[in-house]
Structure 1
């Protein structure tokens, strides 16, 4: 029997994708480039938008599992690992921006102005690369394994390329919209299958 999460994969992916895109739009609106970086990071709307961005990354992780929890072959397993690791890595980056960044701006603003170095740069760069690669592989594998149609695979591939800059708005929006499209496709396909089943039962 399907789990409640798996049976509701379509609505979950649709809601997660739309929410992800909406939150990235709110981050774009909250980023007041006319102000100094420290002053902007101390503002409540900016802090809330970045903190919420971390939360919606969890929705993407759930959707990755829902789409590849069934057997999709070796390539599907690779895609699952790539997308999972990349999204977790970027989620950690967003957690830092949403929760640690504002605190550092208050207690040690000179650290923000100095920028990153050493392992901090390595960690940040890895999140960008792995997030982009993860969703590119997700799109290719999903199409090759026929988990979803080619146009959705292409959407995730393009969104993955743009997702290299997902830490900065509005580059996370394509991933959100691609996920929402996947949710819509799953939902409409499920509804069609149920309609056929009801017609068969009525004919019998």
Structure 2
């Protein structure tokens, strides 16, 4: 009897019976693919020499909105993965989760602005784009990428520490998360997208 109940007890202890935890694989897979693909589309449609023209491109704007959706998926995927490891993650896992959520939401705001506000600004006041960015706007943009990268590095480390992901996958997430500090320069966000795709596939199969 003990041998039959041990798997159930283990699943309950690790949170894997929770509905969101069971969806961690598909959610992480979808988020990773969305992140990688939108980065590739962005680099194909981006013209840093003419921001007004770039923001007039429906494909670029649609892709920016898709990037915002990818960020939203990442938030849900992070919570789902955490639920699978909550009992083993400890305070480090909690800290990593809070950091990755703050960083991802922060960056999601950047992509929301890019997809919805920037095209309107380009139509009504295109001269603004000739002055560059500074002050609070520049600090807000840069801090979003830094906090996003730190969050995914810590989250990958928490998955490694709790054994929620195989060592190779967790280390790949950590490394790709560090590179993601530069994902404002596509395609440097693709490695994190591919790492999360790998994590999602493994989670679905496990």
Report deviation, 1:167. 2.4
Deviations 1:178-203 (A, max 9, x none): 111111111111xxxxxxxxxxxxxx
Q: Could you say which residue in structure 1 is the equivalent of 2:117?
A: 100
Could you list the runs of 4 or more consecutive aligned residues of structure 1 that deviate by over 6 angstroms after TM superposition? none
CA distance in 2, matches of 1:108, 1:59: 32
Aligned match for 2:43, one of 28, 40, 59: 28
The counterpart of 2:53, out of the listed 39, 62, 86, is: 39
**By how many angstroms is 1:58 displaced?**
0.7
1:32 deviation in Å?
A: 4.1
- The alpha-carbon deviation at position 19 of structure 1 amounts to 2.1
Q: In the alignment, is residue 90 of structure 1 matched against residue 104 of structure 2?
A: no
**Aligned-partner SS, 1:116:** coil
Q: What is the DSSP-based 3-state SS (H/G/I as helix, E as strand, rest coil) of the residue aligned with 2:113?
A: helix
* Cα displacement string for residues 14-52 of structure 1 (whole angstroms, at most 9, x for unaligned residues): 12211221121111222245x622112111111111111
Partner of 1:80: 97
Partner of 2:66: 52
Counterpart for residue 118 of structure 1: 135
Structure 1: which 5+ runs fail to align? 190-204
Distance 1:121 1:8 in 2: 37
> Which structure 2 segments of 5+ residues have no match?
1-11
Query: Which secondary structure state, in structure 2, belongs to the residue aligned with residue 51 of structure 1?
Result: helix
**1:94–1:167 CA contact under 8 A, matched in 2:** no
Aligned residues: 188
Q: Which residue of 2 aligns with 1:14?
A: 29
Quick one: distance in 2 between partners of 1:167 and 1:94? 10
Alpha-carbon distance between aligned partners in 1 of 2:27 and 2:53, rounded to the nearest angstrom: 36
Q: Report the 3-state secondary structure (helix = DSSP H, G, I; strand = E; otherwise coil) of the residue aligned with 2:42.
A: helix
Does the 8 Å contact 2:38/2:67 carry over to 1?
A: yes
Taking only aligned residues, the RMSD between alpha carbons, in angstroms, comes to: 1.6
For 2:174, the equivalent position in structure 1 comes to 157
Q: What is the rounded CA distance, in whole Å, between the counterparts of 2:129 and 2:18 in structure 1? A: 45
Displacement of 1:10 in angstroms is 1.0
Q: How many Å separate the matches in 2 of 1:150 and 1:93?
A: 32
- Cα displacement (A) at 1:109: 1.3
